[in-house]
Amino acid sequence: MEFYELDFFGLKRKLPIVSLTPKIKIASISLLGDAELTEVAASLLAEKLKGIDFDYIVGPEVKVVPLLFALSQKLGKKRYVVCRKSIKGYMLSPEVLKVTNGKKPEMLVLDGPDAQLLKGKKVIVVDDVVSSGKTITNLEKILLKTGANISLIASIFKQGNQYQGKLLYLSMLPVFSR
């Protein structure tokens, strides 16, 4: 297996290089279980977000959840919102965005009370890695559908140059082409 040696502000990680398509490979990273990386990233991102006026942090499930928690603590926010990829049994009147990305239909879901909470509020959208921008674009769509106002989109990593939207990020990750 091939690896990419990441130096993230002094933290070293050996990331596996995985195939997305027959012609494209990426360095794969996950915050799940990496408390040290999550803490450093949250501290650095919190510094950059301090001057931004917002009410809530919103992110997609699942790998970014530790970062949402740590950022909320560092920025003094008592609540953050996770957008799910399916309707869960505990949800009340969920807000659903159905997305067709090629082969299979996907969805993003906000629990109804979360959707109501975000209505008219200023939010920062946070993800761990932004590559193509599909997740971020769909998050923007569902948040606008609920009446939230997006103050900023931020991530730890931007991977490649496919996403052209405005994005605050801390570091780049490479994309490898054959």
What is the full per-residue pLDDT of the chain (178 aa) written as tens digits? 899 999 999 999 999 999 988 999 999 999 999 999 999 999 999 999 999 999 999 999 999 999 999 999 999 999 999 999 999 999 999 999 998 766 777 899 999 999 999 999 999 999 999 998 999 999 999 999 999 999 999 999 999 888 989 999 999 999 998 7
d(CA 136, CA 140): 6
Which letter, b or e, does each residue of 162-171 get, where b requires 16 or more Cβ atoms within 10 Å of its Cβ?
ebeeebebbe
Specify the pLDDT at position 177.
85
Q: What is the CATH number of domain 35-171?
A: 3.40.50.2020
Write the CB contacts of 12 (distance below 8 Å, at least 6 apart in sequence): 5, 6
In this predicted structure, what is the pLDDT of residue 143?
Answer: 97
78: Cα within 13 Å, side-chain hemisphere: 1
The pLDDT of residue 58: 98
